[in-house]
């Protein structure tokens, strides 16, 4: 059972990453029919939704794109910001979906935003409680560690509807603004589905890791 859990914990995220990398690589080489950049797409959709206050910036890295609700800023990686590919349109529209969620006070986004500072603390100390709980056979420390890990798991669970909904909104806005052709729509959806899979994989891997720790602890007691 332990070997099976280790296998799943390792390979579920790897498979998801291969999926997103494959979809992104494929559609980053396919120009979109509108011949517009990711930045242009984001700006058009934002303006269409009366979100002129949202700024669009460029950041380093690959697929590091994100929306910052505290600064009202959409950060697009270089490959998304300036490229005119189907992938850049998909990712840019997805990030605008988060900005629209923010405007509409989408509940799960509010919950995730509120959990961020808490998770930043719990994720840093959870492993220490688990480790010392094992080391000193202290059940109290161990289960405190598990509780802290569960906070992180809750964060990942809340993230799922946030990400799926942002993709849904992105597709809707692309259609409303006439920024995606029928041909482009197929690739756009594939990129967004692959990206969503990484969040599902992250949640499953963390859940399995927590289950594994609990089983190991029970076997040792």
| Distance between CA atoms of residues 88 and 94, nearest Å | 10
Distances (CA, A) of 85 to 8, 32, 36, 60, 196: 34, 5, 8, 18, 19
Q: Please report which residue ranges of the chain form alpha helices under DSSP H.
A: 2-27, 38-48, 78-81, 86-103, 107-135, 139-176, 182-219
| Distance between CA atoms of residues 37 and 83, nearest Å | 5
8 Å CB contact between 220 and 27: no
Is 173 noted as a catalytic residue in this protein? no
Q: Decide: helix, strand or coil at residue 71.
A: coil
Distances (CA, A) of 70 to 41, 58, 74, 107: 22, 17, 11, 16
8 Å CB contact between 82 and 113: no
Cα Rg of the chain, angstroms: 20
Catalytic residues: 95
């Amino acid at each position: 059972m332990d070997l099976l859990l280790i296998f799943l914990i390792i390979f579920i995220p790897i498979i998801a990453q291969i999926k997103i990398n494959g979809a992104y690589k494929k559609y980053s080489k396919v120009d979109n029919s509108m011949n517009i950049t990711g930045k242009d797409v984001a700006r058009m959709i934002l303006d269409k939704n009366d979100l002129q206050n949202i700024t669009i910036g460029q950041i380093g890295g690959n697929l590091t794109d994100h929306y910052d609700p505290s600064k009202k800023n959409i950060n697009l990686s270089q490959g998304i910001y300036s490229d005119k590919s189907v992938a850049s349109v998909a990712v840019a529209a997805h990030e605008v979906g988060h900005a629209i969620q923010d405007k509409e006070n989408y509940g799960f986004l509010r919950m995730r935003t509120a959990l961020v500072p808490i998770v930043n603390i719990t994720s840093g100390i959870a492993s220490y409680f688990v480790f010392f709980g094992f080391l000193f056979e202290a059940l109290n420390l161990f289960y405190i560690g598990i509780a802290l890990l569960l906070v992180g798991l809750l964060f990942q669970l809340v993230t799922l509807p946030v990400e799926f909904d942002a993709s849904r909104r992105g597709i809707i806005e692309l259609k409303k603004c006439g920024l995606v052709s029928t041909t482009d729509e197929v690739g756009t959806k594939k990129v967004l589905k692959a990206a969503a899979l990484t969040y599902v994989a992250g949640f499953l891997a963390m859940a399995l890791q927590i289950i594994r720790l609990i089983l190991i602890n029970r076997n040792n007691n």
